């Protein structure tokens, strides 16, 4: 606070609160729609306050399923999303830790070649190479399973860079001390490097979990079997069905369910989230 | 790059990089080179034989009115998304920077849309603007404006821009806020002593000093609008009505998977890759350099 200007301070608060309201409006409307019965939601205008059907809708989304994806309950989709998100986050962190370790702590032929090869992945988002990647995955027989959903998205240049950065700040004396004590490379990695980068791993995990959970195009391509649908792409199927038989109360319930896990992760681990975001992007 | 002290020669480092390299080669480099190769092939109508045609696919693409229109549309879309979300985020960050009480609570309430998937964000906005049920469409109707993004291309575009920008506000907000916190207090205090009011301080000190962040965010937002908005487009409009919202990533998907024009789709992929590489280079080049005064 530089000077005391009550009016400006009041205006600042007012603008932020207004901003928050606008940002939160879509969610509020979702909650309202998810808590009324199907008939009420299709009457115009939508009620302004949440209704009392929330748990009824929750139950029917889990038990009966919604729209085109009728045979699959929202529960199955949530589990699929969770498995995919965890596999992507854990897989990315594991292989990036290993390759960053190799690149920082070993001198070997083609070291820089490998480094650039990893760097290239940074430049090729899945959206721009969907067709050939899809062919590769199909040829490997990885359609409609968790491997096909997660493995092609696991390579990560950003994570490798971040760990490389972290390892470079680890003092050389630690390695010397470890060697004097007779520790081999893997022992040093497991007992010193990994524990030292704990917070970075956690921060990265938060970001990657959200990244994995929110995948859309890739699951859309590699899953044709309804039992493998993820929640984010499942919502798309529901929207398609909505054109004929609007079940907006259930669709909104499902979007709410699709949002809750990543939002909870971001809000509860806010510090790690901000750290992860600023470290991976810069 | 390499530690002064490191481990001696052994096959171990190859084993360590192997998983990353194998995945990179199988799922990134191989498909990308396939796309490059396929972009120079022309298949016959039945997909039985193909002919190597060098750059014909690219030439066809740049003669194609629809492709050029999609290109312009994508530029417009990206610019609008970047501008809208950055402007909102900048205003909110400037205000949040001023307040002392409740700053953390405000931040918490503003960052969560980051976690919402683009397709889900699309579903939320689609429901709000649904021509028959949506509450905003209803309100607009009350004001005498008839909203129907299923028929009106401009309205469909506006809806996508709003949904895409909404999701990105939290990201921009966090970076703007961090950049403003990094400005030395003494600069702002000195200006205040010289009699500069809050608005003047913002435009003459804060805004120029955060320009590297602004530039960085501009690149990030353009990349986001180019590639990550696929989910929004696909879930909400499917490129319609009458291709009014068909942006480049959507066209690659549509021509490749639905239209099965493999050569043309691959050529579009190659162009998109070139754009990403260009943007990444720009990002690395300029973000490293601090803007000097």
> Any idea where the domains of chain B sit in the sequence?
62-116+167-288
Q: What is the arithmetic mean of pLDDT over A38-62?
A: 76
Cβ distance B27 to A155 less than 8 Å, yes or no, reads: yes
Classify residue A258 as left (phi > 0), alpha (psi -120 to 50) or beta.
alpha
Any A CB within 8 A of B59 CB: no
Alpha helices in chain B (DSSP H): 12-24, 30-38, 56-63, 65-98, 103-111, 118-128, 135-142, 153-181, 185-193, 198-201, 207-209, 211-223, 230-236, 248-253, 262-288
Return the pLDDT at B293: 42
B58 in Cβ contact with B268 (< 8 Å): no
Q: Which helix (H) or strand (E) holds B51?
A: strand B50-52
- What distance in Å separates residue B24's CA from the closest CA in chain A? 6
Return the pLDDT at B274: 83
- Tell me the HSE value of B135 on the side-chain side, using a 13 A CA sphere: 17
| C-alpha distances in Å from residue A207, one per residue of A87, A88, A212 | 13, 11, 9
| C-alpha distances in Å from residue A85, one per residue of A260, B105, B170 | 14, 28, 21
pLDDT tens string A95-151? 999 988 888 888 888 888 888 888 777 667 776 677 788 888 888 888 888 888 888
Return the pLDDT at A47: 75
Instruction: Give the chain A residue whose CA is nearest to the CA of B234.
Output: A236
What is the full per-residue pLDDT of chain B (293 aa) written as tens digits? Answer: 566 667 777 788 888 888 888 888 888 888 888 877 877 776 665 666 666 767 777 877 777 888 888 889 999 999 999 999 999 999 999 888 888 777 788 888 888 888 888 888 988 888 888 887 788 888 888 888 888 878 888 889 999 999 999 999 999 998 898 888 888 888 888 888 888 888 888 888 889 888 888 888 888 898 888 888 888 898 888 877 878 888 888 888 888 777 777 777 778 888 888 888 888 777 777 655 554 44
Out of A98, A236, A248, name the one closest to residue B119 (CB). A236
Residues 160-199 of B with CB under 8 A from A: 166, 169-171, 174-175, 178, 185, 188-189, 192, 198
Question: Does the pLDDT value for residue A90 go beyond 90?
Answer: yes
Cβ distance B20 to A13 less than 8 Å, yes or no, reads: no
* CB environment B230-257: b (16+ within 10 A), e (fewer): bbbbbbbbebbbebbbbbbbbbbbbbbe
CATH of B62-116+167-288, one of 1.10.10.1100, 2.130.10.30, 1.10.3720.10, 3.40.50.140: 1.10.3720.10
* Among candidate residues A87, A129, A150, A162, the one with its CA nearest the CA of residue B29: A129
Instruction: Give the chain B residue whose CA is nearest to the CA of A148.
Output: B27
Return the pLDDT at B212: 84
Place of tokens 């709003």: B162
Residue A92's contacts (CB-CB under 8 Å, 6 or more residues apart) are A153, A154, A155, A156, A159, A204, A208
Residues 253-282 of B with CB under 8 A from A: 253, 256-257, 262, 265-266, 269, 272-273, 276-277, 280
pLDDT tens string A225-271? 878 888 888 888 888 776 666 678 888 888 888 888 998 888 888 88
Cβ distance A16 to B106 less than 8 Å, yes or no, reads: yes
Estimate to the nearest angstrom the gap between the alpha carbon of A27 and the chain centroid. Answer: 19
pLDDT tens string A183-216? 888 888 888 889 988 888 988 898 889 989 988 8
Residue B130, SS3? coil
Return the pLDDT at B129: 87
Most confident range (mean pLDDT) of A45-59, A78-92, B100-114 is: A78-92
Question: Does the pLDDT value for residue A59 go beyond 80?
Answer: no
Return the pLDDT at B89: 93
Return the pLDDT at A66: 67
Return the pLDDT at A280: 67
Q: Which region among A78-82, A87-91, A169-173 has the lowest average model confidence (pLDDT)?
A: A169-173
Question: Does the pLDDT value for residue A1 go beyond 60?
Answer: no
Say which DSSP state B39 is in. T
Say which DSSP state A69 is in. G
Question: Does the pLDDT value for residue A86 go beyond 90?
Answer: yes
| C-alpha distances in Å from residue B80, one per residue of A84, A229, A254, B17 | 33, 33, 30, 41
List CB contacts (< 8 A) between A103 and chain B. Answer: 1-2, 13, 17
Return the pLDDT at B1: 57
Beta bridge partner(s), residue B50: B43
Out of B28, B123, B171, name the one closest to residue A235 (CB). B123
Mean confidence (pLDDT) of chain A = 82
Any B CB within 8 A of A263 CB: yes
């Amino acid at each position: 606070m530089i000077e005391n200007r009550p009016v400006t301070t009041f205006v600042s608060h007012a603008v932020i609160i207004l901003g928050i309201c606008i940002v939160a409006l879509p969610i509020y409307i979702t909650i309202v729609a998810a808590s009324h019965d199907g008939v009420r939601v299709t009457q115009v205008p939508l009620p302004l306050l949440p209704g009392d059907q929330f748990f009824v809708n929750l139950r029917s989304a889990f038990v009966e399923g919604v729209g085109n994806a009728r045979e699959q309950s929202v529960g199955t989709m949530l589990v699929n999303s969770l498995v995919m998100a965890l596999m992507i986050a854990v897989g990315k962190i594991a292989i990036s830790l290993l390759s960053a370790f190799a690149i920082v702590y070993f001198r070997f032929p083609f070291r820089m070649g490998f480094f650039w090869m990893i760097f290239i992945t940074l430049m090729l988002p899945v959206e721009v190479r969907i067709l050939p990647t899809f062919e590769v995955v199909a040829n490997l027989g990885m359609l409609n399973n968790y491997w096909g959903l997660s493995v092609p998205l696991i390579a990560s240049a950003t994570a490798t860079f971040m760990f490389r950065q972290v390892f470079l700040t680890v003092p050389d004396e630690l390695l010397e001390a470890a060697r004097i004590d007779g520790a081999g490379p893997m022992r040093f990695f497991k007992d010193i490097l990994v524990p030292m980068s704990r917070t970075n791993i956690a921060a990265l995990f938060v970001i990657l979990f959200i990244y994995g959970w929110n995948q859309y195009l890739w699951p859309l391509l590699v899953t044709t079997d309804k039992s493998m649908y993820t929640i984010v792409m499942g919502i798309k199927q529901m929207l398609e069905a909505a054109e004929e038989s609007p079940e907006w109360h259930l669709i909104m319930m499902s979007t709410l369910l699709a949002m809750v896990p990543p939002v909870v992760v971001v809000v509860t681990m806010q510090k790690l989230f901000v750290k992860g975001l600023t470290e991976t992007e810069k | 790059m390499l530690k002064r002290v490191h481990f001696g020669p052994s096959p171990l480092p190859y084993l360590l990089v192997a998983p990353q390299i194998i995945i990179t080669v199988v799922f990134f480099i191989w498909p990308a080179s396939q796309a490059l190769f396929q972009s120079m092939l022309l298949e016959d109508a039945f997909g039985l034989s193909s002919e190597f045609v060098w750059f014909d696919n690219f030439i066809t693409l740049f003669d194609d009115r629809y492709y050029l229109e999609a290109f312009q549309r994508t530029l417009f879309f990206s610019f609008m998304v970047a501008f809208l979300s950055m402007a909102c985020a900048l205003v909110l960050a400037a205000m949040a920077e001023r307040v002392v009480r409740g700053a953390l609570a405000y931040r918490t309430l503003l960052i969560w849309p980051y976690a919402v998937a683009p397709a889900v964000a699309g579903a939320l906005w689609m429901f709000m603007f649904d021509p028959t049920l949506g509450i905003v469409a209803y309100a607009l109707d009350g004001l005498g404006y008839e909203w129907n993004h299923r028929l009106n291309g401009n309205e469909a575009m506006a809806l996508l821009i709003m949904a895409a920008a909404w999701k990105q506000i939290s990201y921009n907000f966090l970076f703007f806020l961090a950049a403003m916190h990094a400005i030395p207090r003494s600069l702002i205090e000195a200006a205040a002593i010289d009699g500069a009011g809050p608005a003047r301080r913002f435009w003459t000190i804060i805004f120029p000093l955060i320009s590297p962040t602004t530039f960085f965010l501009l690149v990030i937002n353009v990349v986001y609008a180019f590639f990550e908005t696929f989910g929004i487009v696909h879930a909400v409009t499917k490129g319609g009505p009458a291709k009014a919202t068909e942006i480049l990533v959507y066209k690659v998907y549509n021509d490749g998977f639905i239209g099965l024009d493999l050569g043309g789709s691959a050529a579009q992929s190659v162009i998109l890759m070139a754009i990403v590489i260009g943007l990444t280079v720009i990002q690395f080049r300029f973000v490293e350099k601090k803007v000097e005064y």
